[in-house]
Amino acid sequence: MINSILRFGLIFILLILLQILLFNNIQFSGYVNPYVYVMFILLLPIEIPSWLLLLLSFTTGLIMDFFSGSPGMHSSATVLAGFVRPYVLRVISPRDGYEPGSDPSMLTYGFIWFLTYTLLIVLVHHTALFYLEVFRFADFFRTMLRVLLSSLFSITFILLFEYYRRRK
Amino acid sequence: MKNLLNFLARYNNLIIFLILEGITVYLLATGNNYHNTRVVNGIRGLINGIEERINITRTYLSLREINENLAAENVALRNSIGRLVKKENSLFFSVSDSIYRQQYLYTSAEVINNSINRQKNFFTLNKGYLQGVRVDMAVTSGNGVAGVIVGCFENYSVAMSILNLDFKLSARIKSNGYFGSLSWDGRDYCHAILSEIPQHVSVNMGDTIETTGYSAIFPEGVMVGTVSDFEKIGGDFYKITISLITDFKKLHFVDIIGNMKKTEQLELEKLFQ
């Protein structure tokens, strides 16, 4: 128990630092802003109580908000992502269900499963985030392009990290 | 009572979700006051400390370029001083002038955090109200417009950059004086849009765009950029694309400009509104 709290704490700090120090500084046209810190919400254990999941999502978003000076934007998107995660897990559950006490990882459930899982949640998160950022429906399709391109990059990075984690 | 408890237990998920989303929407809605709230202030202070550390490293890497820019600016300033001295010695301006008072105060600051890839970009400066910075002061970089101060802490302040969908600036074409409204369309960090210029005005590629000074924030004649493209849209106006003179990707040293006669102007204007 203590061990896993420590482990997730470490992942959390690592992801936040990566996001702030590295990914927030990627200024590759206005269209690509990867937000990899969502990975924290993805990695939490499958059986985590939903209230804890929501609170952790909220905290993650709030910290990101403080660091990027955008009140409520990130937290709103992460809380939404935390809210849909149990439903996503239910929809894409493998035929014989989840193993008790397991983490949603590529190692346990395979690449395709992890890709679908990441794709769905990152898309929900990024859609909410980018539309909240613009806060208007003018340039609807341009914002959508930003969502899609950024999601593509976020998902790529998340898969890379997950692959690295698996090898360890 | 039992039903109520059942209901709560059944939907606790949804309820927590709605409460948390409620909090975030509240934060979103009170957006601009956010900078002034005390809780956030404390945390921002801490974060600014970290950002300043990072910035020191970053500055060190581009020292050569910064030196070159400073040297160039020194030359320009020396030239303008030369011109002023000559003016004072000439016959017409040798009167000691008691009416003329300095209108704008300049102070320099360093950018310690900056973004260009969001739709609402802000940058943080290392001077705050203890150093005399106030909300609504203008920020320029070298010779171009950079932004407007929107929040002040003790030793730090936050400025809204041109690259912000909420940024509006009154600007004019230098050659003929027609003015319009300048804003950013959120597309890329090199270009902004000047609108409300009527179609009978002649616009040329490369025309200089400068500030008007109507808003009492920017002094008159600060350069914004040059015309890089223009097209006639719908009604009677041009949509002029401007390539900005300020390079926001390497914003480092900026000047903060305070207008000492601002309250006077605003109070006078208020009387007639």
CATH number of domain containing A55: 1.10.1760
The model's confidence at residue B44, banded by pLDDT at 50, 70 and 90, is low
Question: Do residue B119 and residue A76 have CB atoms under 8 angstroms apart?
Answer: no
- Report yes or no: A102 and A45 within 8 Å, Cβ to Cβ: yes
DSSP code of residue A92: T
Q: What is the pLDDT of residue B38?
A: 42
How many Å from the N-terminal Cα to the C-terminal Cα in chain B? 59
* pLDDT, mean of residues B161-177: 89
Is the pLDDT at B40 greater than 60, yes or no?
A: no
Q: What is the pLDDT of residue B98?
A: 52
- Going by pLDDT thresholds of 50, 70 and 90, the confidence category of residue A4 is confident
**What is residue B150's predicted lDDT score, i.e. its pLDDT?**
86
**Rounded CA separation B148/B139 (Å):** 6
Residue among B24, B115, B189 minimizing CB distance to A79: B24
pTM above 0.80, yes or no: no
A129 interface with B at CB cutoff 8 Å: no
pLDDT for A85-125, tens place per residue?
Answer: 999 999 988 888 888 878 888 888 888 999 999 999 999 99
> Is the per-residue pLDDT at A158 higher than 90?
yes
Residue B89 pLDDT greater than 60, yes or no: no
Which residues lie across from B242 on neighbouring strands?
Answer: B192, B227
> Which residues on chain A are in Cβ contact (under 8 Å) with B21?
76, 79-80
Q: What is the mean pLDDT of residues A67-73?
A: 77
Interface of B with A in 119-178 (CB under 8 A): 119-120, 122, 124, 158, 165
Amino acid at B253: F
Q: Inspect the interface and report whether the beta carbons of A139 and B116 lie closer than 8 Å.
A: no
- Spatial contact of A84 and A61, defined as CB atoms under 8 Å apart: no
Rg (CA), chain B: 23
B188·A55 Cβ contact <8 A = no
Rounded mean pLDDT of chain B?
Answer: 80
Chain A residues with CB inside 8 Å of B40's CB?
66, 71
Q: What is the spatial distance between Cα B262 and Cα B269, in angstroms, rounded to a whole number?
A: 11
| Alpha-carbon distance values, B61 to B56, B72, B250 (Å) | 9, 19, 12
Q: Does the beta carbon of A49 lie under 8 angstroms from any beta carbon of chain B?
A: no
Better-predicted residue by pLDDT, B97 or B184: B184
A&B contacts, CB < 8 Å? 94
What is the predicted ipTM?
0.81
Which string of b and e fits A20-30 if b means at least 16 CB within 10 Å?
beebbeeeeeb
Tell me what the mean pLDDT of segment B187-207 comes to.
88
Tell me which residue range forms the domain holding A108. Answer: 2-167
Shortest distance between the Cα of A168 and any Cα of chain B, in A, equals 30
Give the model's confidence band at B36: pLDDT under 50 very low, under 70 low, under 90 confident, else very high.
very low
Neighbouring residues of B160: CB distance < 8 A, sequence distance ≥ 6: B120, B121, B122, B147, B148, B149, B150, B166, B167
Number of domains in chain A: 1
pLDDT at A123: 95
